Amino acid sequence: MTVALRLSEITHRHGAGDRASLDGVSLEVAPGETVALLGSSGAGKTTLLALIDGRLHGWRGTANVLGRALLPDRIQPGSERAEVGFIFQEFALVDRATVRQNVLNGRLGRTNTLRAFFGQFSAADMVAAERAMADTGIADLASRRADSLSGGQRQRVAIARCLAQEPRLILADEPVSNLDPTRASDILGLITGAAQARGATVLFSSHQPDLARRFASRILGMRNGCIKFDSPADRLDANMIEDLYREELADPRTALRLVV
């Protein structure tokens, strides 16, 4: 496999007559790369990630994820979906379930359906879940209910669920948008570190250029559904950022968020 991801001329509209949320996006990502998607809200980052995760319908173009063609009208089998892990912005945990069960939920695409229905997970499932909980520092919370945790702990559960899936490609939608700078770099360090240890490719979206530069090797800038620039992280310069956030920078209130 030479590429983890190859998209070509992807176009998508949320509704007929809407502005294109993805407008001719083409992209190649090599295995093991860590790529950041920069762009303001509405730039198309979430839509692009949902597409790669196989949850978007009604798009046009060609998409190849981990060597398999993604088709807009075909639902992929569980084992194929399990290869791509997704860390949701709002964590999407099952509140009344324990931390361990939430993490084991990441195994549901890999394990036997009938056995899992009756709560029987395989030894491999348990090992993957325990390892994911240890790596994210939540092993001692395993028996707690998800709704009894703090926001930071919940996010770690969401990351652990994704890691338990043993994905070869990890997608993260704004994983640090609501965190203070220290927590933000902790979480991004955790995701990219765990991915590297597992040899997984990472694609995360953010609107914090400094964090993107620190944790990604390559940065894509999105605006109005198009990829505006595609740059190695160390070549990212102020003009690119300015171009990407033109409207936000014109407004002092949003500009402040970009500076700090």
Partner 1 sequence: MRAAPGASFWAGLAVVAAVLWASVSSDMAPGRLLSSGGRIADFLDRMLPPDLSVMPEIWKGTAETLRIAILGTAGAVIASIPLGLMASDTLAPGWLSRPVRFILALIRAIPLILVAMLMVGAVGLGPLPGVIAVAFHATGMLAKFYAEAIDGVARPPVEALESAGAGTLLRLRYAIWPQMAPVVARDTIFRFELNLRESLILGIVGAGGIGFYIQTYVRSFQYDKAATVTIAVAVMVVAIEGLNAFLRRRLS
Q: Minimum Å distance from CB 165 to partner 1?
A: 5
Q: Where are the alpha helices (DSSP H) in the chain?
A: 45-52, 78-82, 99-104, 113-117, 123-135, 151-164, 181-197, 209-215, 238-244, 246-250, 252-259
Residue window 189-218: x/- pattern of binding to partner 1, with contact defined by CB under 8 A? ------------------------------
Nearest Cα neighbor of 190 from 151, 228, 137, 236 is 137
Among the listed residues 2, 73, 74, 117, the single contact to partner 1 using CB under 8 A = 117
Site membership for partner 1, residue 81 (CB under 8 A): yes
Q: Which residues are CB-contacts of 126 (< 8 A; sequence separation ≥ 6)?
A: 104
Of 59 and 88, CB closest to partner 1 = 88
Of 156 and 213, CB closest to partner 1 = 156
Among the listed residues 26, 79, 120, 178, the single contact to partner 1 using CB under 8 A = 79
Residue window 160-189: x/- pattern of binding to partner 1, with contact defined by CB under 8 A? -x---x------------------------
Identify residues 38-57 at the interface with partner 1 (CB under 8 A): 53-55
Q: What one-character-per-residue DSSP string does 198-243 give?
A: TT-EEEEEES-HHHHHHH-SEEEEEETTEEEEEEEGGG--HHHHHH
Among the listed residues 109, 175, 221, 225, the single contact to partner 1 using CB under 8 A = 109
Asked if residues 29 and 227 have their Cβ atoms less than 8 Å apart, the reply is: no
Q: Which residues are CB-contacts of 193 (< 8 A; sequence separation ≥ 6)?
A: none
Site membership for partner 1, residue 247 (CB under 8 A): no
Site membership for partner 1, residue 147 (CB under 8 A): no
Stretch that binds partner 1, among 106-114, 131-139, 204-212, 249-257 (CB under 8 A): 106-114
Nearest Cα neighbor of 221 from 200, 202, 207 is 207
What letter would DSSP give residue 98?
A: B
| Residues engaged in binding partner 1 (CB under 8 A) | 53-55, 77-82, 84-86, 88, 90-97, 101, 105-110, 113, 116-117, 161, 165
